Amino acid sequence: MTVLVRPVTAHDEAQWCALYAGYRSFYRLPDDPAAVRTTWQWVSGSEHGLLGLVAEDADGRLLGLADLRRFARPSSATTGLYLDDLFTAPAARHQGVATALLHEAAAVAAAEGASVVRWITAEDNTAARAVYDRVATATPWVTYDMRPSAV
């Protein structure tokens, strides 16, 4: 299968939203069309430093998406790209879509002078981790989430 990876365009809205709803479902997030629309607006409008990539086949069907955002790395005085979302349509899995998206993320990072592309995944996401282990290095860092609260 031929896979072309490119930046997201306004023309991609319907297919991107369907893929992103699939991404949310995969991670057992509730069905939330408003969240999908808001994220589309952020990605397609490059808000919050976001950059959207899509993978398409030769017929223009979207096969996957990657949403990245730029972040500062004060400890190294560099910038990086954080991969917030990566998703391949179920029918297109095991055909190099995720790898192509990750390679393009690395190329964008290099072109921007970024020092890293970083992401997290669930420990039990073995299919994705098999891809990630081929293109990146797992780190020893543990991730925490803290809820906002008034002091």
Contact 67, 119 (CB under 8 A): no
Q: Tokens in use for 41?
A: 């607006």
d(CA 64, CA 54): 6
pLDDT score recorded for residue 1: 77
Phi-psi region of 124 (alpha: psi -120 to 50; beta: other; left: phi over 0): alpha
What values do phi and psi take at 135, rounded to 5? -115, -10
Would the pLDDT of 151 be above 90? no
pLDDT digits (tens, 9 = 90+) for 85-120: 999 999 999 999 999 999 999 999 999 999 999 999
Q: Is 104 helix (H, G, I), strand (E, B) or coil?
A: helix
pLDDT digits (tens, 9 = 90+) for 69-88: 999 999 999 999 999 999 99
pLDDT score recorded for residue 135: 96
- Nearest residue to 55 via CA among 109, 16, 17: 16
pTM above 0.75, yes or no: yes
